[in-house]
Structure 1
Amino acid sequence: MQPIRFELDPGHDHVELNQLLKLTGLCGSGGAGKALVASGAVRVDGQVELRKTCKIRAGQTVQFEGVTIEVIAV
Structure 2
Amino acid sequence: MSTTRTVGITRAPIALGQFLKLAGLAEDGAQAKGLLASPGVTVNGAPEHRRGRQLADGDLVTVGEDTLQVRVT
Indicate whether the TM-score tops 0.5: yes
Q: State the distance in 2 between where 1:8 and 1:27 align.
A: 16
- The one-character-per-residue Cα deviations of 1:32-51 (angstroms, maximum 9, x if unpaired) are 10121132331000010011
In the alignment, what sits opposite 1:71? 70
In the alignment, what sits opposite 2:14? 15
Q: Which one is further off, 26-35 or 41-50? A: 26-35
Give the TM-score taking structure 2 as reference length: 0.84
Q: State the distance in 2 between where 1:33 and 1:41 align.
A: 13
In the alignment, what sits opposite 1:24? 23
Give the superposed CA RMSD. Answer: 1.4
Query: Is 2:19 aligned against 1:2?
Result: no
Identity over the aligned pairs, expressed in percent?
29
In the alignment, what sits opposite 2:32? 33
Q: State the distance in 2 between where 1:39 and 1:2 align.
A: 22
Q: Note if contact 1:8-1:14 (Cα within 8 Å) is conserved in structure 2.
A: no
Q: Which has the higher strand share?
A: 2
Structure 2 counterpart of 1:19, one-letter code: Q
Q: Which runs of 5+ in 1 are unaligned?
A: none
Q: Which runs of 5+ in 2 are unaligned?
A: none
